[in-house]
Amino acid sequence: MEIGREEIYVSHWVVKQDIDMALICHPNVFVDSNFGSTVDEMQKNYIRLLPKYPAEQDFIIEFDKLVEFVAGQFAKRVKDGCNYQYLISAFFTHNVFETDYGIIYPSVQVNGKLGYNVALRPDIVNSHLGFIGAEKHILYKTDKYMQVVAGLYSDKYIAKSLGINSMDVLPKVD
């Protein structure tokens, strides 16, 4: 979304067991993320963790190009009806799910400025997380302004939005 209003849903979970995930982030993607933001920290960690072995320099350069390409695939905007343009990121995620529990990557909808998205295998969600609740927000965006507004909604409304009959079908978190 470049300019306009969009409904977004935020869910809250408790982590019952640590989850190893692949981080999809590169310093040349979302270069204007906020200083001190989570995405900014991800980018700094990538640079810090990138090996500096002189004997492997050619490999490191090619690896860095690959990471930048993949991060760019996760960061690109796709127009409605053109979901086939997500084929590379979907294929990458499918292959990561063969060995890792999930992926984490900067949010395209807010230009990498406010946060990140997490994609987990369903079995990992069921075994490692406990659902706490969800809320609806409205993202308002102009060419120079972005605001997320939280909404307070009933359990019945949220259940309908989730496509379930009642919040009672969701397990309680201890």
65 inside domain: yes
pLDDT of residue 124: 92
Q: Which residue has the tokens 């990561």?
A: 96
71 inside domain: yes
Most trustworthy range by pLDDT among 61-70, 140-149, 160-169: 61-70
Predicted confidence (pLDDT) per residue in 105-126, tens digit: 877 655 555 567 888 988 999 9
> Would you say residue 50 has pLDDT above 50?
yes
pLDDT band at residue 173 under the 50/70/90 scheme? very low
Cα–Cα dist 30/25, whole Å: 9
33 inside domain: yes
pTM across the whole model: 0.61
Total number of domains in the chain: 1
Helix, coil or strand: residue 159: helix
55 inside domain: yes
Q: Which of 71, 61, 65, 66 is nearest to 24 (CA)?
A: 71
149 inside domain: yes
Q: Residue range 80-102: average pLDDT?
A: 85
174 inside domain: no
Cα–Cα dist 54/33, whole Å: 30
Of 33-37, 60-64, 106-110, 161-165, the least confident: 33-37
Range of the domain at 19: 4-169
Query: CB within 8 A of 3, min separation 6: which ones?
Result: 141, 142, 143
pLDDT of residue 7: 77
160 inside domain: yes
70 inside domain: yes
pLDDT of residue 1: 46
